[in-house]
Amino acid sequence: MYNILICDDDKDIATTLKLYLTAEGYHIETASNGEEALVVLKEQDIHLILMDIMMPKLDGLSATAKLREFSNAPVLMLTAKSEDSDLILGLNMGADDYITKPFHPAEVMARVKSHLRRYAQLGGMPSPKEGTITVGGITLDDDKKVVTLDGEPITLTPREYAILKLLMENPNKVYSSKALYEAVWGQASMGTEGSVAVHIRHLREKLEVNPSEPRYVKVVWGQGYKIEKGKSI
């Protein structure tokens, strides 16, 4: 799955782009200014950026110049016709292309797919190894049955591993305790869902810097558990 960052202070535009791209199977991160975009880019594995030019705090031109210090992901500038001179400056600063507002969904999809394809062909984006799942800093290699967190191996019990694998295979999907128990234990829960909470707590202790404020394994109160793909979904 490709990860795309939408950086635009216009919530309507950001929401519209997110709807289009999510429907095409992309995972979306959002930011409302250049400063937020740089934070996301340093914390998440982003494959393409849609960057507005005019934004508060840090504009798209300055943000593009800064992100080029550590990222070679394609940058598509979102620009109004009145910003043609800024657009040229953006391309000189490292942007790869531009999309003029108001845009058509088909044009956005075509540009995004074209640049992702080219980025992959040029080796900027390694093909994920079959049997390997990555969510944020967590990587699960199901062939070797190895889990790493920020590159460091962690030891899980078979139940913890099975719960983590199920959640990572379905990021952002909420599983009730009953559904998790029946999927992982392979039998009807019969009121034994409490053991799921125990295993979730142990998982958090191993995966989270601060288990009481988890980045990954989240509780959806009254509904169940999920693993979050990113912070600004």
- Asked whether the predicted pLDDT for residue 37 surpasses 90, the reply is yes
Chain mean pLDDT for the chain: 84
Amino acid at 49: I
Q: Apex CA 206: angle with CA 203 and CA 209, to 5°?
A: 115
pLDDT digits (tens, 9 = 90+) for 152-166: 889 999 889 999 999
Model pLDDT for residues 77-135, shown as the tens digit of each residue: 888 765 566 667 778 778 888 888 888 888 888 889 888 888 776 666 554 556 788 88
Rounded Cα–Cα distance for residues 233 and 224 (Å)? 18
Looking up tokens 């979904």 gives 233
| Bigger pLDDT: 7 vs 42 | 7
pLDDT recorded at residue 130: 60
Q: What is the DSSP string of 186-203?
A: -S--TT-THHHHHHHHHH
User: In this predicted model, what pLDDT tens digit does every residue of 122-131 receive, in sequence order?
Assistant: 666 554 556 7
Q: How confident is the model at residue 167 (pLDDT cuts 50, 70, 90)?
A: very high
Percent of the chain beyond pLDDT 90? Answer: 27
Q: Which domains occur in the chain, in start order?
A: 3-121 (3.40.50.2300), 132-227 (1.10.10.10)
- The model's pTM: 0.55
Residues in contact with 81: Cβ distance below 8 Å, sequence separation at least 6, in sequence order: 100
Report, in angstroms and rounded to the nearest whole number, the Rg of the chain calculated over CA atoms.
20
Place of tokens 């216009």: 10
Cα separation, 31 vs 94, in Å, equals 19
- Is-contact 171 180, C-beta < 8 A? no
pLDDT tens profile 171-225: 888 999 888 888 888 777 776 667 888 999 999 999 988 888 888 899 888 889 9
Position 33 scores a pLDDT of 94
Closest C-alpha among 154, 89, 84 to residue 75:
89
Check if the beta carbon of residue 34 is closer than 8 Å to that of residue 75.
no
